[in-house]
Amino acid sequence: MPQQQTDNASTMTYPANTSLETLEKRISERICHVGIYGLGYVGLPLALRFAQVGIRVTGFDIDVHKVETLNGGHSYIERITSEQIATAQAAGFIATNDFALTTDVDIQIICVPTPLDSHHQPDLSYVTDTVDSILPYFREGQILSLESTTWPGTTEELLEPRLRAKGFIPGENCALVYSPEREDPGNAQYQTADIPKVIGGTTQRCLDLGVSLYSLAIKTMVPVSTPKVAEMTKLLENIHRAVNIGLVNEMKIVADKMGINIHEVIKAAATKPFGFVPYTPGPGLGGHCIPIDPFYLTWKAKEYGINTRFIELAGEINHYMPHWVVQKVADALNDHGKPVKGSRILVLGLAYKKNIDDTRESPAVEIMALLQDKGALVEYSDPHVPIFPQKRDYSFDLKSVDLTPAAIAAYDCLVLATDHDAFNYGNLTIFPKLLIDTRGRLPIHPQIVSA
């Protein structure tokens, strides 16, 4: 196993290079200037963490609204407060969409999305577009670090050739590393500083410089031998979860057909003190990582003639779950003498998991779209998402509904898609005509159907 390290300086010696020696000195003296490219759920917390330890940070984003909001001292992410933005600004943090300022920073850290295209193929356009926007202003003695989740080989096969084509040779006059993000929105136990950081460099000198940089802000560094190892590590972490969630979702369908409460089964199995890790079923996978990352590996594996059947099967099961929920809604309405078409349905929770405002790849959104396609009159309630956000594939002109008893009783069916703690679950057991519980949050009740 690679040895964990937290030291800020390399013990190795290298051939003299003024630009990299200057960079190393600026990092060790804590006067380096960090650029974060992509100020979303990954980039903004990282930018604030560097600012918190006294490192000057410039944040780059093509979204003018984000730039203006941050420079106005406000946050657009629920868990990040305006006070945190103000503290970072006092430490020198600014946001910009002017990539020419790349020349002024010592480090470029890329934290942009890596989605799938309409054919479920990896879409690295955000990464390559960002790199291509950086390169005209890139100079010797800078570090380029990619944090976006991607397939093994991206750093060395896509980024390094772009640098070399401009005369920048990693390990000689610049540095190139890959260090995958490990953010977990809504997890109060682990903040950015506390999560061990995996990193791989294209050369040993690149790795040492990258470790020295991130050690300024992250408590524990986990260096690995190559960027490919770091890229594969990120995929394994999320595929591990996707496969196990796929398993428990399939078990839920089987248990439902047998009249067994899967949540009771999981609680009983979790009492075993060894050999079992509990995973919770739900209406599907959400967030930017788990629904997407497996397809990055399955796509790359085909280049080597390998079919990743196990991973793809888990993906199929998880992708099916919103359809399963919608069928449960249709069956339950039918039992109450109503068709889906024309029924008023309220989806509870728009975020992909509880107690956050992140709706990326949320199964709740797909459930809304599927119900609407069947003619339902769909609305939603989410205390963390007051207005339906702009999305590439879905468009709803909606605002969150307040969950008053009168409002609850006005709908033909409620669908608990995300079990936020802020919901009044007492009201949800009294006032609904019908409620579909996809999270196992509510007790057995005549008007409540588990899905």
DSSP string, 283-325: S---SSSTTTHHHHHHHHHHTTT---HHHHHHHHHHHHHHHHH
Q: pLDDT-based confidence at 1, cuts 50/70/90?
A: very low
Give the pLDDT band (50/70/90) at residue 189. Answer: confident
Please provide the average confidence, as pLDDT, over all residues in the chain.
93
Q: Is the pLDDT confidence value at 287 over 90?
A: no
Please state, in angstroms and rounded to a whole number, the distance separating the CA atoms of residues 49 and 46.
5
Q: At 120, is the pLDDT very low, low, confident or very high (cuts 50, 70, 90)?
A: confident
Residue 6 scores a pLDDT above 70? no
- pLDDT above 90 (res 289): no
Q: How confident is the model at residue 323 (pLDDT cuts 50, 70, 90)?
A: very high
The DSSP element (H or E) to which 363 belongs, if any, is helix 363-373
Per-residue pLDDT for 339 more than 90? yes
What's the predicted TM-score (pTM) here? Answer: 0.91
**50: pLDDT strictly greater than 90:** yes
Structure tokens at 296: 């990055």
With bands split at pLDDT 50, 70 and 90, how would you rate the model's confidence at 13? Answer: low
Pick the catalytic residue: 32, 111, 174, 289?
289
* Residue 96 in this model has a pLDDT that exceeds 70: yes
Q: Which residues on adjacent β-strands are paired with residue 107?
A: 34, 143
**What tens digit of pLDDT does each residue of 366-409 get?**
999 999 999 999 999 999 999 999 887 888 999 999 999 999 99
pLDDT of 437 strictly over 50: yes
Residues 61-71 have a mean pLDDT of 97
For the chain, what is the radius of gyration of the CA atoms? 24
Residue 70's contacts (CB-CB under 8 Å, 6 or more residues apart) are: 39, 44, 59, 85, 95
pLDDT band at residue 186, thresholds of 50, 70 and 90? confident
What confidence score (pLDDT) does residue 15 get? Answer: 59
Res 281: pLDDT: 95
What span, in angstroms and rounded, lies between the C-alpha atoms of 323 and 307?
Answer: 26
Whether the per-residue pLDDT at 2 is higher than 80: the answer is no
Tell me the two tokens of residue 199. 């990193």
Q: Kindly report, residue by residue over 210-261, the tens digit of the pLDDT.
A: 999 999 999 999 999 999 999 999 999 999 999 999 999 999 999 999 999 9
How far, CA to CA in Å, does 118 sit from each of 91, 121, 303, 445? 42, 7, 20, 41
- Residues 293-296: contacts with CB within 8 Å, 24+ apart? 293/149, 293/234, 293/235, 293/238, 293/239, 293/242, 294/235, 294/238, 294/239, 294/242, 294/243, 295/116, 295/120, 295/121, 295/122, 296/114, 296/122, 296/149, 296/150, 296/151, 296/235
The question of whether 289 is a catalytic residue gets the answer yes
Q: How many CB atoms lie within 10 A of CB 298?
A: 21
Residue 10, pLDDT above cutoff 50: no
- The domains located in the chain, with CATH, are 18-225 (3.40.50.720), 248-450 (3.40.50.720)
